Structure 1
């Protein structure tokens, strides 16, 4: 982003809304640490207006009365409008959070468009009603799928565009309305989302966007006008949201943290595995919830994989995220950089050995950079092996046999992702079945729009993506008919 972008309005009820206060949230470049824009800070009164507009739209004929075909047409127009802005949205996200532009063009530009189209088409093929019969009870039951209502969607800063759409696309396809709260670090890109909604003719109130930090998020989550909450973020924040929704008996989807394991089997191909780990363990500078950052290596091949992983990490291009060649950009903020550096120091203090990295890159005068860092000589009980670092930090752990490797993988409070690396896919599939996690990859890790994604244990509740992602925004009603 070469110009300073100062936004002054909020997108509420289908248009631009004057905020109730004059407070602003500055947006800072993680590359040069300079202000690149600002957005208005929402107050609770603005949230009230947005939720009221969403409740009104939920029952208005221009949204509630649409047929699946009509709603799908609206979503496809929305996708078309977003597609026109894909490059702008990718570069805006990169400017906000330091995501390498080559990744942002897909994840933040193309992927939200694909998700809207997927759910538009899925809504067409998912019947609103079906008739069931069973014995011994005579008669027929009509099972009806209805929108859950007003959805509070809270998105994180690491993949702001696509993780917002994980919630918006299925919710709108189900006939819900949405109030979105982006992360304060990455709110500028949501204005492009709003502009696309206006161009597509999304009915007023169907999508609203409020800004702010944890205080506004908490107010939105507990708002009496909200029917469901969908949140992606840290496990501590998710626990708080879960407690609030539990007390309110409000359905909630929580996609939270992870500390996933990469199980490298004794037959793994060295070059292919290490090449794959560059993405599976360090995507988006390690600021990805499902990264396989605990790399479990067979003792018989530990030294060669240690050296190869170290060389891979040391060789990743670090620098300007707008450069197509950059693999490791800056972290999102000074606070995040300092947190990661603190955990690295804690890892050293607990006896860990750093084979590469361990600090800020040499010669970098500004920017929230941390070198790709690899730890050896750590136990699975060490802080860097148990806490989610959310930065470019890997731990290498040796194991004896396969049972020990699986036990190490499962010895974690988290269960979001994971990978296995082997030349025998069937063997890898057998390993995948034994690891306690919501998703897993054999020699790769790629999300599939048509398959559910989410975690177990401290990694969350519920699933996004696939038909299961649509079902999360529907209530089921059974209507009993006589024979």
Structure 2
């Protein structure tokens, strides 16, 4: 691994001072604060207000009034689409700022964040286009010749709770689809990464959406729990850990509030025996450890044929050992730090567990030399692993990959499915249809044949403990509507 010098951002970020509630920037009622620490320098970046119960009550009340009495749910879809396109245009004008904030708070390389931030306006434009053709009203006939209208109506007031690893992209999935459906929204961004949510609030304000349609209340775990339990919330849309998702699902079940969950993953990349490893390598290098492995769909289990294991390891380990680790603001950096001290401690704990379980550290396993500041961990590859090891079964959320071998396709499918998770995956084969057949055998929500693709215009979500519901595509809009059947006698 090679390291680079520090590239400091041009200016410190401006700390948010207010909450966006009811179409206005309002003073916090709570006197509690949150802190954001640089993952690169370990220095304090900002201190800003944390929403307390009274602030959350105010946000939910504003969203409730906007849904129950305001124009937004009652607008023609084409009119809502016009507002969404305004938001998309305003986001587009601020993409560099959004990429900078992402890198600053998370430690994702600036070269990567600049490539990915375009997904935000894409989502708003996509749902604007979709609702102009979406069947909100479907005319049908009964067997007796009578008329039926099946109507899709907005689910109501929605809480959007998002994690820190891809702050605005994961929020945009929820907000764009929810607003398109006619819902009103209360956003609770991760306390570690508030800046992009504030940029979105500014864009929504500038676009002129009616008051109360979008509200932002940054808070920690207690505030999130209060929001989820709030009787004024009709639906919760959550992205985060499986443990937190189970808690949210249980809370919502008490009053049958609607819920959609995009949770953890332990995704497998299956290289079939006819795969071209050289062609597979570029996508494996990007998606086995994206954003220092802090992505739910990371391909953290690589399955290779027994007879071709050495061939694969020679290629993959050579490439991993050449990853340029360093300051994420350096355009040449390929891997930055982990986002928080607790995240580094978690990853190092799993690496120690892997060693204790008898797995072999083929690459990495420590902290990079020359980077004394920042939450850095070397990209790490384990070999000699077995399917039941903790490092193979549990989501590590760091730059740690396990390479397993298999005998035949049945064994590969069994090992790929030997997981409590089922979020994503990949299959590599010289025959795309053979790859497709293996993809059909994998119990996971999304699979790419010969690569790794996540496209906001198509559904994404998980099987098993990776969640319920889908984000992206028409299915993402379905998350935010209720179906009403109206018969004409």
Structure 2 length as normaliser, TM-score?
0.96
Listed as ranges, the matches of 1:221-370 within 5 Å are 221-370=228-377
Q: Which string of whole-angstrom CA distances, capped at 9 and with x for unpartnered residues, describes residues 249-285 of structure 1?
A: 1110000000011101111112111222011211111
Q: CA deviation at 1:116?
A: 0.2
Whether the 8 Å contact between 2:74 and 2:182 is mirrored in structure 1 is: no
Whether the 8 Å contact between 1:39 and 1:187 is mirrored in structure 2 is: no
Name the residue aligned to 1:54.
63
Match of 1:417 among 424, 428, 437: 424
Name the residue aligned to 2:53.
44
Q: Distance in 2 between matches of 1:370 and 1:327?
A: 13
Does 2:204 match 1:197? yes
Name the residue aligned to 1:125.
133
Partner of 1:354: helix, strand, or coil?
Answer: strand
Match of 1:86 among 95, 102, 107: 95
Name the residue aligned to 2:120.
112
Whether the 8 Å contact between 1:331 and 1:337 is mirrored in structure 2 is: yes
Q: Distance in 2 between matches of 1:152 and 1:276?
A: 34
Partner of 2:300: helix, strand, or coil?
Answer: strand
Q: Distance in 2 between matches of 1:424 and 1:255?
A: 31
Q: CA deviation at 1:69?
A: 1.3
Partner of 1:146: helix, strand, or coil?
Answer: strand
Partner of 1:39: helix, strand, or coil?
Answer: strand
Match of 1:379 among 383, 386, 391: 386
Match of 1:22 among 25, 31, 52: 31
Q: Distance in 1 between matches of 2:282 and 2:128?
A: 36
Q: CA deviation at 1:4?
A: 4.3
Q: CA deviation at 1:168?
A: 0.3
Name the residue aligned to 2:446.
439
Match of 1:151 among 158, 179, 186: 158
Q: Distance in 2 between matches of 1:457 and 1:240?
A: 15
- Note the residue ranges of structure 2 that are not aligned, 5 or more in a row: 1-8
Name the residue aligned to 2:104.
95
Partner of 2:164: helix, strand, or coil?
Answer: coil
Q: Distance in 2 between matches of 1:401 and 1:48?
A: 57
Q: Distance in 1 between matches of 2:452 and 2:255?
A: 36
Q: Distance in 2 between matches of 1:446 and 1:205?
A: 35
Name the residue aligned to 2:77.
68
Partner of 1:16: helix, strand, or coil?
Answer: strand
Q: CA deviation at 1:174?
A: 0.4
Whether the 8 Å contact between 1:78 and 1:202 is mirrored in structure 2 is: no
Whether the 8 Å contact between 1:39 and 1:188 is mirrored in structure 2 is: no
Aligned residues: 480
Q: CA deviation at 1:59?
A: 3.0
Does 2:440 match 1:426? no
Q: CA deviation at 1:429?
A: 0.4
Q: Distance in 1 between matches of 2:199 and 2:47?
A: 14
CA root-mean-square deviation: 1.1
Q: CA deviation at 1:61?
A: 4.0
Name the residue aligned to 1:162.
169
Whether the 8 Å contact between 1:131 and 1:142 is mirrored in structure 2 is: yes
Partner of 1:157: helix, strand, or coil?
Answer: coil
Q: Which string of whole-angstrom CA distances, capped at 9 and with x for unpartnered residues, describes residues 194-253 of structure 1?
A: 111111112111100111111111110110000000000000000000101111111100
Whether the 8 Å contact between 1:343 and 1:389 is mirrored in structure 2 is: yes
Q: CA deviation at 1:311?
A: 1.1
Whether the 8 Å contact between 1:38 and 1:188 is mirrored in structure 2 is: no
Q: CA deviation at 1:323?
A: 1.6
Match of 1:462 among 446, 451, 469: 469
- Note the residue ranges of structure 1 that are not aligned, 5 or more in a row: none
Q: Distance in 2 between matches of 1:285 and 1:114?
A: 25
Q: Distance in 2 between matches of 1:280 and 1:211?
A: 30
Q: Distance in 1 between matches of 2:394 and 2:419?
A: 9
